């Protein structure tokens, strides 16, 4: 069995296609591991392997998939990490989960997450915190922490997450795996329980860059059920690049200096040195307004959340509090059903949108967003890709930041600007600091996923990060 688990998802799919591996046996091997999980990475695990049908012939070979709790999955709990949706089993499946199942990646388990994807540590889940497999006293990052921990620990071959301001990239970094936030619109949001609709994107969390490309290739595409989805202009290829000759990588001063832990900075600089050896040119680049990204994000995302979360009123979904009249039922349901961070965001967002304050907060934050997008567009005139550390620090101790929302929000400093600009960015593991993984973020212009995956693949080869120790 451990030999099966050692295979990358791509290698497993190839083995199934070649007839050397039984997809039911593969599913069962992962199912048993997921069912015995001690990291609290899952909110639901499949009871049995799907009936053997076309899996072996489909391109993803029947390699099972972990899916973040907030994706709607027909008949299977889909709770977005919230008490207010506890036990909710939707009548339909999210487009991206459906597409992947059709391509041969059946649902293995639903993964734990911060409530409504609000958080950077997975400690905001109504189903309890997830532990980091590198050190169980530490957080896996968030909000897709269950997906990241599961893939890192070999409890799932690959998984889906969502990223609104960093929720795929930051947990990938803290767990030593690969995570891609695609271009906004590249993947359908239909069936994703919404947090901030102008920012939310689904993406893969995988062991390596080739797996990431393979999964993404089957996720992307226009969906009539999501008006913001677009056909990707390029077919997504599994990357083979080993060199970076001719590539110009920009390092923004604004997104590298102050507040970064020394061990993270050292690993980041060592990764840049590897990039140079592979033939890349490293240049300074300016993103003059990136510093304001976090402030703008923490107005825009709560504003959209306050509107999206208005639908949870005890009438249509999930939890309903007992009360004598309708208004009391609404308020008690929301009082009991939402956790403290979700309530904080609803309050901030409602305030920012309220009459008289709209221009001062929401309107201004929207202008900052546009300015940041223009900064990136100008930067990409001069460089092919932009590199930053993914997160200012390595995985922190459970409880270390729960009492200080601002300290928690600072985790998103390097990931939020790309979300605001709608551009794709990947995190790959680039080394260890204090024995814990460090992530390197590579961002590119809209729809440059192939270029990002190629560069990430070349660097991955040179960096030779080994995460196998935590999969045992």
Cis peptide before 24 (omega within 30 of 0): no
Q: Which residue is nearest to ligand GLN (CB)?
A: 167
Crossing angle for the helix pair 449-463 and 209-217, to the nearest 10 degrees: 160
CB of 33 to ligand GLN, least distance (A): 26
- Stretch near ligand GLN under the rule CB under 6 A, chosen from 116-124, 184-192, 318-326, 461-469: 116-124
Closest to ligand GLN by CB, 151 or 285 = 151
Contact 67, 43 (CB under 8 A): no
Q: Three-state DSSP class for 222?
A: coil
Q: Which residues are catalytic?
A: 68, 143, 167
DSSP state, 130? Answer: P
DSSP state, 118? Answer: -
- Residue ranges in 69-98 that form contacts with ligand GLN under rule CB under 6 A: none
Q: Tell me if 126 contacts ligand GLN by CB under 6 A.
A: no
CB of 165 to ligand GLN, least distance (A): 3
CA-CA distance, 163 to 365, in Å (whole number)? 19
Q: Tell me if 120 contacts ligand GLN by CB under 6 A.
A: yes
Q: Tell me if 203 contacts ligand GLN by CB under 6 A.
A: no
Query: Computed over its alpha carbons, how large is the radius of gyration of the chain?
Result: 21
Q: Give the per-residue contact string, 137-156, with ligand GLN (x = CB under 6 A; - = no).
A: ------x-------------
Q: Tell me if 191 contacts ligand GLN by CB under 6 A.
A: no
CB of 164 to ligand GLN, least distance (A): 3
- Stretch near ligand GLN under the rule CB under 6 A, chosen from 111-119, 273-281, 315-323, 446-454: 111-119
Q: Give the per-residue contact string, 289-328, with ligand GLN (x = CB under 6 A; - = no).
A: ------------x---------------------------
Q: Tell me if 119 contacts ligand GLN by CB under 6 A.
A: yes
Closest to ligand GLN by CB, 122 or 206 = 122
Contact 241, 454 (CB under 8 A): yes
Q: Tell me if 165 contacts ligand GLN by CB under 6 A.
A: yes
36, 35, 26, 34: which is closest to 6 by C-alpha? 26
CA-CA distance, 168 to 160, in Å (whole number)? 9
Q: Which residues pair with 386 in a beta bridge?
A: 250, 443
Q: CB-based contacts of 144: which residues, under 8 Å, 6+ apart?
A: 68, 111, 113, 117, 159, 161, 162, 163, 167, 168, 171, 179, 205
Please tell me the total number of residues recorded for the chain in this structure: 472
DSSP state, 228? Answer: T
Q: Give the per-residue contact string, 405-424, with ligand GLN (x = CB under 6 A; - = no).
A: -------x------------
Closest to ligand GLN by CB, 30 or 362 = 362
Closest to ligand GLN by CB, 147 or 229 = 147
- Stretch near ligand GLN under the rule CB under 6 A, chosen from 52-60, 117-125, 313-321, 445-453: 117-125
Closest to ligand GLN by CB, 314 or 424 = 424
CA-CA distance, 86 to 130, in Å (whole number)? 18
Measured in whole angstroms, the distance separating CA 378 from the mean position of its chain's CA atoms is 26
From candidates 98, 115, 123, 163, binder to ligand GLN by CB under 6 A: 163
Task: Provide the 10 A C-beta neighbour count for residue 91.
Answer: 7
Residues that bind ligand GLN (CB under 6 A): 117-120, 143, 163-167, 195, 301, 412
């Amino acid at each position: 069995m451990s030999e099966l688990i050692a295979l990358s998802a791509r290698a497993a799919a190839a083995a199934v296609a070649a007839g050397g591996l039984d997809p039911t046996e593969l599913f069962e091997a992962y199912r048993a591991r997921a069912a015995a999980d001690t990291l609290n990475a899952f909110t639901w695990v499949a009871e049995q392997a799907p009936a053997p049908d076309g899996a072996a012939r489909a391109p993803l070979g029947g390699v099972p998939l972990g899916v973040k709790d907030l994706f709607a999955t027909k008949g299977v709990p889909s709770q977005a990490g919230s008490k207010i949706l506890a036990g909710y089993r939707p009548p339909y499946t999210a487009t991206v989960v459906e597409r992947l199942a059709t391509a041969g990646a059946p649902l293995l388990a639903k993964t734990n997450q911060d409530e409504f994807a609000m958080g950077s540590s997975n400690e905001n889940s109504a189903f309890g915190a997830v532990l980091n497999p590198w050190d169980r006293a530490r957080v896996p990052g968030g909000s897709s922490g269950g997906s990241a921990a599961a893939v890192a620990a070999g409890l799932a071959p690959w998984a889906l997450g969502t990223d609104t301001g960093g929720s795929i990239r930051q947990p990938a970094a803290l767990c030593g795996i690969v995570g891609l936030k695609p271009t906004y619109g590249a993947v359908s949001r239909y069936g994703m329980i919404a947090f901030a609709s102008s920012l939310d994107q689904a993406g893969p969390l995988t062991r390596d860059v080739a797996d990431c490309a393979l999964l993404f290739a089957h996720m992307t595409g226009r969906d009539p059920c999501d008006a913001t989805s677009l056909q990707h202009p390029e077919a997504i290829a599994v990357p083979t690049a080993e060199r970076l000759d001719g590539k110009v990588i920009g390092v923004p001063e604004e997104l590298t200096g102050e507040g970064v832990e020394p061990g993270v900075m050292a690993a980041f600089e060592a990764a840049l040195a590897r990039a140079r050896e592979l033939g890349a040119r490293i240049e300074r680049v300016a993103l003059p307004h990136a510093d304001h990204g976090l402030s703008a994000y923490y107005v825009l995302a709560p504003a959209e959340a306050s509107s999206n979360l208005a639908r949870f009123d005890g009438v249509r979904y999930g939890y309903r509090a007992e009360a004598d009249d309708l208004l009391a039922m609404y308020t008690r349901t929301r009082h009991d059903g939402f956790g403290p961070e979700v309530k904080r965001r609803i309050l901030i967002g409602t305030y920012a949108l309220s009459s008289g304050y709209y221009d001062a907060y929401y309107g201004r934050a929207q202008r900052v967003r546009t300015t940041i997008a223009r900064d990136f567009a100008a930067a990409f005139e001069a460089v092919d890709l932009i590199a930053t550390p993914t997160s200012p620090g390595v995985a922190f101790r459970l409880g270390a930041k729960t009492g200080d929302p601002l300290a928690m929000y600072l985790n998103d400093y390097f990931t939020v600007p790309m979300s605001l600009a709608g551009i794709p960015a990947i995190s790959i593991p680039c080394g260890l600091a204090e024995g814990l993984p460090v992530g390197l973020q590579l961002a590119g212009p809209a729809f440059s996923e192939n270029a990002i995956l190629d560069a990430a693949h070349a660097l991955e080869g040179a960096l030779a990060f080994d995460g196998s120790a935590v999969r045992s």
